[in-house]
């Protein structure tokens, strides 16, 4: 029995050699390409510095600060801005001073009577209402002085009334009322006739001492003095008629005048009875 075994080494063929050479060439090309790619990536990536806060453990990153770049503003732009209204303080030194602030006084906790009085009338509506009342009161006083007391402020108006015979002395003691009434009725001056009839009534009441007649007296005073007497209502009615006809300057017809004359005649008879 033959215990020896012969070993045969396989010899490479031409085909196998070709494959080995191609594989070696391929491996030699791949290595430089990968190295080049890694170098490009390493050049373009910049890792920013990182800071850590030890207390809170919060990670914070800071970028490198760039140096500021100073630019010079042109003179034309400065002059243009100085001409604007918003920059007017630059040309007026008075505006540089700060206006003093008004001093605020501390108000006391409790208010007095006059403080409440002032606060009440400081309201706009109440103040206007108060002014309205004052104006109305002043107008009423002027009316009482000028109209009721027959004080005419315009001299031309008074002269015109004197020319028509409407302004006569009111000293009733020296007037012949019956003659004056007859003359005015004949001249169709009904208003003036009513005036003389009313003055005649005042003359009779003064003689009876039911009123105290005086030149500056008012009709309202005479009506007040007659209150409580038996002819008070009749005299008050004749006074209203006289005020409407004489002071109101209402023109009355012949029929209306006849009715007024009858009322005065009845009053005269009642006073003398």
The per-residue pLDDT for 221 is 92
DSSP state of 103: P
The verdict on 134 and 188 lying in the same domain is: no
Mean pLDDT by 10-residue block, N- to C-terminus, for the chain (273 residues)? 46 61 67 48 50 51 64 80 70 61 63 70 71 88 70 50 50 83 93 94 92 87 91 94 90 92 95 89
Return the CA Rg of the chain.
Answer: 61
The per-residue pLDDT for 84 is 77
The verdict on 177 and 129 lying in the same domain is: no
Q: Considering the domain boundaries, does residue 215 fall inside one?
A: yes
The verdict on 186 and 245 lying in the same domain is: yes
Nearest to 210 by CA among 233, 194, 227, 234: 227
The verdict on 218 and 187 lying in the same domain is: yes
Contacts with 245 (C-beta within 8 Å, 6 or more apart), sequence order: 190, 191, 194, 252, 260
Q: Considering the domain boundaries, does residue 159 fall inside one?
A: no
Per the CB < 8 A criterion, the answer to whether 213 and 226 are in contact is: no
The verdict on 174 and 125 lying in the same domain is: no
The per-residue pLDDT for 191 is 93
Q: Considering the domain boundaries, does residue 221 fall inside one?
A: yes
Q: Considering the domain boundaries, does residue 174 fall inside one?
A: yes
Q: At which of 87, 122, 148 does a domain end?
A: 148
Q: Considering the domain boundaries, does residue 157 fall inside one?
A: no
**Distance (Å, rounded) from C-alpha 232 to C-alpha 238?**
10
The verdict on 169 and 131 lying in the same domain is: no
Helix ranges (DSSP H) in 166-211: 177-186, 190-207
Q: Considering the domain boundaries, does residue 106 fall inside one?
A: no
The per-residue pLDDT for 155 is 47
Counting the structural domains of the chain, the total is 2
The per-residue pLDDT for 4 is 45
The verdict on 143 and 193 lying in the same domain is: no
The verdict on 123 and 169 lying in the same domain is: no
Two tokens at 149? 């007391």
The verdict on 171 and 243 lying in the same domain is: yes
The verdict on 199 and 265 lying in the same domain is: yes
The verdict on 181 and 266 lying in the same domain is: yes
Domain that holds residue 254: 165-272
The verdict on 206 and 266 lying in the same domain is: yes
Q: Considering the domain boundaries, does residue 66 fall inside one?
A: no
Q: Considering the domain boundaries, does residue 245 fall inside one?
A: yes
């Amino acid at each position: 029995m033959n215990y020896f075994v012969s070993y045969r080494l396989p010899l490479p063929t031409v085909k196998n050699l070709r494959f080995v050479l191609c594989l070696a060439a391929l491996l030699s090309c791949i290595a430089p390409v990968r190295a080049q790619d890694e170098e490009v990536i390493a050049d373009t990536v910049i890792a920013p510095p990182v800071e850590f806060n030890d207390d809170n453990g919060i990670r914070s990153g800071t970028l490198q600060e760039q140096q500021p770049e100073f630019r010079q503003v042109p003179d034309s732009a400065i002059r243009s801005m100085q001409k604007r209204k918003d920059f007017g303080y630059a040309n007026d030194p008075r505006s540089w001073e700060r206006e003093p602030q008004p001093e605020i006084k501390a108000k006391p906790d409790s208010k007095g009577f006059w403080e409440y009085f002032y606060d009440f009338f400081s309201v706009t509506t109440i103040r206007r209402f108060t002014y309205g009342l004052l104006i109305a009161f002043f107008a009423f006083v002027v009316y009482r002085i000028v109209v009721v007391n027959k004080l005419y402020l315009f001299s031309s108006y008074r002269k015109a009334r004197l020319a028509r015979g409407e302004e006569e002395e009111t000293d009733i003691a020296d007037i012949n009322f019956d003659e004056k009434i007859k003359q005015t009725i004949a001249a169709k001056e009904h208003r003036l006739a009513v005036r003389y009839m009313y003055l005649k009534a005042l003359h009779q009441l003064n003689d009876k001492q039911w009123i105290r007649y005086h030149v500056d007296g008012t009709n309202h005073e005479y009506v007040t003095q007659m209150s409580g007497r038996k002819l008070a209502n009749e005299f008050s009615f004749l006074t209203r008629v006289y005020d409407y006809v004489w002071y109101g300057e209402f023109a009355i017809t012949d029929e209306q005048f006849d009715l007024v004359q009858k009322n005065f005649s009845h009053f005269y008879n009642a006073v003398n009875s």
